[in-house]
Amino acid sequence: MTLLRIRKSWQLPESSVTPESVFWNRRRFLKAMGAATIGSAGLLYGKSLTAGSPMMDEIAALPRIEVERNAKYSTISQFTKESIAAKYNNFYEFSRDKDDVWEHAKAFKPRPWQIEVSGLVEKPRIYDIDDLIKRMPLEERVYRFRCVEAWAMVIPWIGFPVKALLDDVQPLSNAKFVKMTTFYDPEVAPRQNDGLFSSEPWPYTEGLTIAEAVHELSMFAVGIYGHDLPKQHGAPIRLVVPWKYGFKNIKSIVKIELVENQPPTFWNTIAPNEYGFESNVNPQVPHPRWSQAIERVLGTGSRQRTLLFNGYADLVGHLYQTG
């Protein structure tokens, strides 16, 4: 297979990634400068990556978040350039293309924002997003990300474990699944109501088993690359489950429900044979229309072998052992 340039796991070519040292030097610099000047320094940081890009200008204006990186979950030292990740989005509420989601999301307002956590819990609650963020233990984690369409990237997320939120509401013993729902507002997300695909069950929903949800890798992200989530990545809060295909990582969540039965989900409802509820990354289980054995690394010309559970088999494998 001479077509494929298989690299050792996640050794990306220099041209396509921001070396960690550059990122961290900038952030230490920001921290040293103190809160008062972080805004303008943040602008510099964004602009220096892609000067003159309107999309990066928007990102540079987002509030910065200063948190520690959790080394246990951040074993990859180089990640995808932000200017690439922020312009290659799946967010069907706004567009079926990837490079213009950020433009179509202009009318979308991620503040004020509330999240309802309810269903089979001891203490149902409605959180204001900023209260929730203050309450939860924020940290940074550099995770692999793998879309079912066979492209991959590496992202520095900022967020907190799903388990921390569930502990706050105390699931009842008969709760078996966590169902999550995206906002529904066709006025700002016209694709939710364009009638083109009557089979699309808006709003977008996803779900996990309780065991998956409380797994140490599962997190709710509220930031990325050292700042608030841009709209195209699912502001103000989205799920990140790095061993599953991208579509499980539901964006812009307004409701989290603990339920007894496996909930219907967006893609599983549209095409159950193509998008299973579990949908763990697995090179040996092809999508019905393409192989999953090889993945394309965003922003590089290179391809590499897909890893079982997207490289997290040592951490999640026990969840799926049978017999």
Ligand X SMILES: Nc1nc2c(c(=O)[nH]1)N[C@H]1C(S)=C(S)[C@@H](COP(=O)(O)O)O[C@H]1N2
Where on the chain is the footprint of ligand X (CB under 6 A)? 89-93, 147, 182, 204, 233-234, 246-247, 249-252
Tokens (6 digits) for 311? 């490289």
Which is closer to Mo ion, CB of 147 or CB of 162? 147
**How many residues of this chain interact with Mo ion, rule: CB under 5 A?**
4
Amino acid occupying residue 122: E
State in angstroms the smallest separation of the CB of 44 from Mo ion.
Answer: 32
User: What is d(CA 87, CA 217) in angstroms, rounded to the nearest whole number?
Assistant: 25
Which is closer to ligand X, CB of 41 or CB of 266? 266
Q: Which does 263 bind (CB under 5 to 8 A by kind): ligand X, Mo ion, none?
A: none
Q: Which long-range contacts (CB under 8 A, 24 or more apart) does 259-263 make?
A: 259/119, 259/120, 259/175, 259/176, 259/177, 259/178, 259/179, 260/120, 260/174, 260/175, 260/176, 260/177, 261/176, 261/177, 262/176, 262/177, 262/207, 263/177, 263/179, 263/205, 263/207
Which residue in 78, 90, 182, 304 binds Mo ion (CB under 5 A)?
90
State in angstroms the smallest separation of the CB of 126 from Mo ion.
Answer: 29
State in angstroms the smallest separation of the CB of 124 from Mo ion.
Answer: 31
Which is closer to Mo ion, CB of 94 or CB of 113? 94
Q: Which does 127 bind (CB under 5 to 8 A by kind): ligand X, Mo ion, none?
A: none
Query: What does the chain come to in residues?
Result: 323
Q: Which does 265 bind (CB under 5 to 8 A by kind): Mo ion, ligand X, none?
A: none
Position closest to Mo ion via CB = 246
246 binds Mo ion (CB under 5 A): yes
The stretch near Mo ion (CB under 5 A) out of 133-141, 156-164, 242-250, 281-289 is: 242-250
Amino acid occupying residue 7: R
User: What is d(CA 255, CA 262) in angstroms, rounded to the nearest whole number?
Assistant: 16
State in angstroms the smallest separation of the CB of 96 from ligand X.
Answer: 9
User: What is d(CA 228, CA 252) in angstroms, rounded to the nearest whole number?
Assistant: 13
State in angstroms the smallest separation of the CB of 158 from Mo ion.
Answer: 21
Which is closer to Mo ion, CB of 50 or CB of 282? 282
Q: Which long-range contacts (CB under 8 A, 24 or more apart) does 293-296 make?
A: 294/4, 294/150, 295/146, 295/150, 295/151, 295/152, 296/150, 296/151, 296/152
Which is closer to ligand X, CB of 177 or CB of 247? 247
On the 0-12 / 13-18 / 19+ scale of CB atoms within 10 A, 134 is: exposed
Which residue in 147, 165, 221, 297 binds Mo ion (CB under 5 A)?
147
Which is closer to ligand X, CB of 45 or CB of 267? 267
Which is closer to ligand X, CB of 249 or CB of 280? 249
Nearest Cα neighbor of 43 from 64, 13, 72, 14 is: 64
State in angstroms the smallest separation of the CB of 223 from ligand X.
Answer: 12
Q: Which residues bind Mo ion (CB under 5 A)?
A: 90, 147, 246-247
